[in-house]
Structure 1
């Protein structure tokens, strides 16, 4: 008897094989698989490589015009038909070959809709089987894998049908609506690749609503009266915002010369703050974005890697509850106690048999994201950060409440009440472990009722209401979740696609481009059903019912087809009107996406691409103005509409790193760099590639050494090739005013700055004052 276990990815196959026995690694045409024996039975563990099959339009024999729509005749075909995925065929062939040796089949792909579909496709199309045993697990620990193998379930055909239907309906919408938009543009003799989807449309729609709300926003003035007290305390008038300028001025003029405030009341409140619940995927994505600026997609990808390494649990979960199995938890904590950073916490939890808190969210398939083991292999910096975040969140769930004291003081200044507040941490509790949650520490001096406090000055300040904030990569995930758009596994991809297609710009917040606005306004005008959230939510509910087998797959697909046919018929009638509106906005968007900023001559600095596909920044007043700036030939560029504080040149983002476009900007060359430049000019270093002289050059990222024979020889090296030991030396310049740690010199995307050595627990930073940033008073 031979069992064939089908996994989702090669590295998972290796983990499962190792957990079940002592496997021998074999290969078929370069594709690895594993053989082992367990209880006298031969087991083969092989894998897919994600989706082995994809949807494609069926060829009917009729000749169709390019871009013709609607299309609903589709079928599953090998993903190797897609350019760049030819390697997939080798995995299909390997499974087909191994299936001939097997008597029993197990699916061990991820336990969710996509995983069930991937496993079933491999089983059906590669192995020729309709059913199999199903291994279900939430972490790749040895015990979990053995348990899943010895206690298998069967294929969940509700999940398979739901996954198949979602892919088909998404194909219907994505291909047909995109073709409809492109054909509309062709109707006015232009060509432009356009794309949208079933969930992307509604998601972009509410982002456009927010963008238009911001554009139409009219600020409303208000006035704030503040009392500046001794010890740099600031109390605000109890009214907070004065909407009537006359009233604000009357109060200010009456009390502006007062020199004393009397404490009317002091209210102290102590509050216990529970630990945060363990992570579900959405919360992990938001926290990783807030703390590390990781995009939701990046967080999801790293979390998946940590799962496949066997050190964290399955990430695509909605649950905020840890497993109820005490032995499982005890085993994890014992493993974690071997890691020096977490040892004392894990040991105390074990010693006191502590129980974790849990959140409200649950998931029928998987528990919350949690640590399951310590790393057995070297993690890169980003993996370390996310692993540490997950471990600390897991351990903190077992810890004591934090305790905080809040003080609210009311002061009387000539009959007018002012508010003063403070807060401090009394007991660190779980915050000692999960210190990423920021507590505002605002200590007040010892105060008593009827105390008199000197007033240094009374101020009145005119302010304006601000427009609603744009969504960020973190908040958009939460919004999609609350609107029930997309799934926990797809939300990150939805946002990434909208950015990639030029509908959004991510510059810290998500700004909708003119093209994004145009697409939504056009769809709202001519076919509003496509971006209707209600229709998308209704389909998700049908897929849930399909998963529970209370509705038929054929009915779901036919209903989606009928609705889409009706919408597309209306679009066809108005192709020219739609195309004209889209083209106008495309032209405006293209210009704004290329304009970096203003040139000294008054022209626009734009990104220029040559016929050889090289890029640089040049002026629109060429040839009168020949100003140019170099650009790296690789990397994703974003226009930020920001200028450098040091030299005034535009700042752009390259692969999410902000840089000033001016190679001569003083911020790019530190005093240390200047010394290295002097050394390099004297040393007469030789190029190891061609024997030419290495000379100091300046680029967008700062100074470097490059071969004098450029462009024939493109050899470069860093200006400062220090060893790791030398780099680790810290220049201490003082003590941190917030935590007492060392203040050290650091380098960031804007050059050198001073930061606390206790980062990330303490995030105190300050600028380095040079001649350009000194105030007039300091210069005197």
Structure 2
């Protein structure tokens, strides 16, 4: 008897199909019934490889064998899933299997997975296509009643293969070409590029470049404290004529850019009588949409600091191992329109009723009141915001399954809790607020006060906000026609801040929205809903950039390395914008969409890709490292060997008359031209921060030229002569910063530390020493002067914990024992809390005194 072989993309889908169709008997690796054999892949089982006869074994990292454009591609099994591939090939070749049913996910990747398996098996059996958006039993049964002919999917299949082969061509040839270029001058310098990886890196480098070039501007804000019969309230002055930011991203209606103007307003309004007008209006706020993978990764990073990769791993475990979440690798935030009965069943499970023993009763108890109320109020109704087939591709939003949770780890429980609360909240009514805007006019000058009161929590109740308690801005009442008095006018100074570095959360958002600013409408439309990468690949792209040393993960920040800046300089200099801008992805998506509709042939598309690949390689072959165009200049300081002219190039600062040169990147840090000028002029520069040792740990150092004009690190320790004797330091030409808190002698800046004059030389009698850089925070001489004279510095905001890599703010203070420690600012609204102090343990630099610095941070965390 002939049978049809059904191949799904995942084991869980195979199990769903078996339950829906019925009549199957489970074997070890597949299901079988009278009519069907049912088996699954485990995602991708095969990957592209260059055919043996075209692959270069020796010298593949040189230009001699580039570009590699094979006339066809070979498929090779992915090692860890090869046993599953062998099972599928054996089933395909069974004599009683007369046709195949492609039941892989309804999208480009699902089509590719199935087509590669069939191609590898060399089978020529008829194919039908099951196309599902919902996995309810009825939807599965209906899908089998309307199977499509496999030939109808040829356009989608061609687009899937073209995308895969194009990524291979650009990635392999681009990486080998850039590696060959960077290795011309010696050594092997692996320089990876990719269609998605490199534009993503370009986003981060561009943001870091804006941060480095940012120049803060001073501005002032004027806040009035107004007294009325019921008490006091505050209001901030604002410009009623303000129309918008125009070209100034920092412009705000409540910012004053002239201190004198602020002082004039302060004097004008202080102590005067004001008239009050108020306007109140109701406002509603809908719950957020259900999670897709990107929004789940973004929020988990923001709330718990989970990396995108960690969140994906947890979600995958909750799906595969615990079976408590639906498939997580999705870009949809809606559910199928026939999913309402499944939702009601899931809510019933969350009430805990009818759930067997062994589940986590305490966890379900948290959700039961909300799930019960949704069911009792009949809030699961048709709603296009929640149930919408048009907003689903091959997978729907992430929601809890009918399986009750048990034995979840703490991180798994945190993620499960996020998904369940979002699932419950989406069916609740909107939160209702009363928003009051109060304008207090003093001498004709307006001051705005805003209050927001939660009237009905709606969906916020799921998150524990069930009333007005804790709501900010509950205003002191002002009676009608009551006049108030400006008791105080506070003029505060501020500075504009540079854009924040990307966190994984904000980078995922940027990748998801890449292309929205494109000028070309067709390319912008092609990128809509896609962005850079897919929800399933974005986490790995970030991890790859870190593994290739293009990025550093500093706490929750992602910081580009000198290698990343060097790559962008190279690609921009070579004139290869296709690899740095999302337009390449947009153009590909537009053409692949045309191919899916039958408007473009596979051969035409691949011909264009081959031409682009050839162009990338040709551009790299056309230049040497010292001829790459770029924003390079000349140094004003002459060469220390021959007094010749020194020019900046892609990799070096190179003398034009002799062999003297200085590398631009040393210990993962790139020198700026001004720093090299200082090094050549003074024969030393620093202390400088941002260096990294071989373990990836940051350190600070002075760089100085030795007698042979070779740069060396100087960590600011006591110098010794050739005979091993400690040299006497001459402070006669230096300016004293104050009295030593230990012995009363003078304190000077020396190397990478502020030291007591009696701590140097062979007869030292004092050990006072405090770093010029402490936990990556520069301590300027004027701050050390304040510390020595008043006992503490200003509030310094850029300390970085050596353990958590997170920034924190603190004062440096002088202890009674003369040691320098931390004092942390009081946190409002806890005025009674004591300030905590922590010793810096005489930290001289992050590298030289790493252990004391870490200890200081640990104590700091226990006392705040």
**Structure-2-length-normalised TM-score:** 0.65
2:109 aligned to which of 102, 111, 114: 114
1:393-412 alignment to 2 at 5 Å? 393-412=422-441
Measured in 1, the distance between the counterparts of 2:822 and 2:216 equals 38
Q: Confirm whether residue 448 of structure 1 aligns to residue 479 of structure 2.
A: yes
1:34-433 alignment to 2 at 5 Å? 34-36=30-32, 38=33, 40-41=34-35, 43-48=37-42, 50-56=44-50, 58-60=52-54, 65-67=59-61, 68-73=65-70, 76-77=73-74, 79-80=76-77, 86-101=79-94, 103=97, 104-126=99-121, 128-129=123-124, 131-137=126-132, 152-153=147-148, 155=150, 156-229=153-226, 233-239=233-239, 240-256=254-270, 258=271, 261-308=273-320, 310-325=323-338, 326-338=340-352, 339-354=364-379, 355=381, 356=383, 358=385, 362-375=391-404, 377-433=406-462
CA displacement at 1:66 relative to structure 2:
2.7
Q: Secondary structure at the match of 1:652?
A: coil
**CA deviation string 1:180-238 (max 9, x = no partner):** 11111222223211101112233333333332222222222221111234667432112
Q: Secondary structure at the match of 1:111?
A: coil
Q: Secondary structure at the match of 2:195?
A: coil
Measured in 2, the distance between the counterparts of 1:373 and 1:642 equals 52
Measured in 2, the distance between the counterparts of 1:584 and 1:511 equals 23
Q: State the partner residue of 2:567.
A: 519
Q: Secondary structure at the match of 1:460?
A: strand
Q: Secondary structure at the match of 1:389?
A: helix
Distance 1:700 1:18, change over 3 A: farther
Q: State the partner residue of 2:802.
A: 652
Q: Confirm whether residue 486 of structure 1 aligns to residue 496 of structure 2.
A: no
Moved more, 149-158 or 333-342: 149-158
Q: State the partner residue of 1:672.
A: none
Measured in 2, the distance between the counterparts of 1:233 and 1:262 equals 13
Q: Confirm whether residue 533 of structure 1 aligns to residue 582 of structure 2.
A: yes
Measured in 1, the distance between the counterparts of 2:48 and 2:465 equals 41
Measured in 2, the distance between the counterparts of 1:655 and 1:158 equals 49
Distance 1:608 1:468, change over 3 A: closer
Contact preservation (8 Å) 1:264, 1:450 = yes
Contact preservation (8 Å) 2:48, 2:168 = no
Contact preservation (8 Å) 2:196, 2:533 = no
CA displacement at 1:750 relative to structure 2:
5.2
Contact preservation (8 Å) 2:224, 2:489 = yes
Contact preservation (8 Å) 2:177, 2:617 = yes
Contact preservation (8 Å) 1:529, 1:567 = no
Q: State the partner residue of 1:706.
A: none
Moved more, 174-183 or 273-282: 273-282
CA displacement at 1:125 relative to structure 2:
1.2
Contact preservation (8 Å) 2:269, 2:486 = no
Q: Confirm whether residue 477 of structure 1 aligns to residue 508 of structure 2.
A: yes
Q: Secondary structure at the match of 1:202?
A: helix
Q: State the partner residue of 2:754.
A: none
Distance 1:314 1:650, change over 3 A: closer
CA displacement at 1:35 relative to structure 2:
3.9
Q: Secondary structure at the match of 2:532?
A: coil
**CA deviation string 1:326-356 (max 9, x = no partner):** 4344344334443433333333333443224
Contact preservation (8 Å) 2:668, 2:692 = no
Count of aligned residue pairs for this structure pair: 642
**CA deviation string 1:509-566 (max 9, x = no partner):** 3333222122112211212333243333111111122223322111111111112212
Contact preservation (8 Å) 1:286, 1:474 = yes
Q: Secondary structure at the match of 2:428?
A: coil
1:369-768 alignment to 2 at 5 Å? 369-375=398-404, 377-434=406-463, 441-453=472-484, 455-482=486-513, 483=515, 484=527, 485-489=531-535, 490-507=537-554, 508-530=556-578, 531-577=580-626, 583-584=651-652, 591-592=667-668, 641=776, 651-652=801-802, 768=863
Distance 1:306 1:336, change over 3 A: same
Measured in 2, the distance between the counterparts of 1:523 and 1:151 equals 50
Q: State the partner residue of 1:30.
A: none
Q: Secondary structure at the match of 1:341?
A: helix
Measured in 2, the distance between the counterparts of 1:335 and 1:594 equals 57
Contact preservation (8 Å) 2:132, 2:140 = yes
Distance 1:363 1:44, change over 3 A: closer
Moved more, 346-355 or 165-174: 346-355
Contact preservation (8 Å) 1:278, 1:358 = no
Contact preservation (8 Å) 1:17, 1:45 = no
Distance 1:183 1:336, change over 3 A: same
Distance 1:236 1:371, change over 3 A: same
Measured in 1, the distance between the counterparts of 2:369 and 2:538 equals 37
Contact preservation (8 Å) 2:41, 2:84 = yes
Distance 1:243 1:66, change over 3 A: same
CA displacement at 1:574 relative to structure 2:
0.5
Measured in 2, the distance between the counterparts of 1:109 and 1:642 equals 54
**CA deviation string 1:751-779 (max 9, x = no partner):** 786xxxxxxxxxxxxx845xxxxxxxxxx
CA displacement at 1:578 relative to structure 2:
6.5
CA displacement at 1:643 relative to structure 2:
9.9
Measured in 2, the distance between the counterparts of 1:281 and 1:492 equals 10
CA displacement at 1:169 relative to structure 2:
0.8
Contact preservation (8 Å) 1:289, 1:295 = yes
Distance 1:62 1:642, change over 3 A: closer
**CA deviation string 1:479-498 (max 9, x = no partner):** 22321342433333333333
Contact preservation (8 Å) 1:53, 1:79 = yes
Q: State the partner residue of 1:675.
A: none
**CA deviation string 1:700-749 (max 9, x = no partner):** 9999xxxxxxxxxxxxxxxxxxxxxxxxxxxxxxxxxxxxxxxxxxxxx9
Q: Which runs of 5+ in 1 are unaligned?
A: 27-32, 596-600, 627-638, 659-664, 668-697, 704-748, 754-766, 770-780
Q: State the partner residue of 1:681.
A: none
Measured in 2, the distance between the counterparts of 1:649 and 1:529 equals 37
Distance 1:463 1:656, change over 3 A: closer
Contact preservation (8 Å) 2:134, 2:336 = no
Q: Secondary structure at the match of 2:7?
A: strand
Measured in 2, the distance between the counterparts of 1:130 and 1:436 equals 59
CA displacement at 1:13 relative to structure 2:
5.0
Q: Secondary structure at the match of 2:365?
A: coil
Measured in 2, the distance between the counterparts of 1:107 and 1:193 equals 40
Larger Rg: 2
Q: State the partner residue of 1:728.
A: none
Measured in 2, the distance between the counterparts of 1:342 and 1:456 equals 49
Question: Cα RMSD over matched residues?
Answer: 4.4
Distance 1:343 1:153, change over 3 A: farther
Q: State the partner residue of 2:246.
A: none
Q: Secondary structure at the match of 2:500?
A: coil
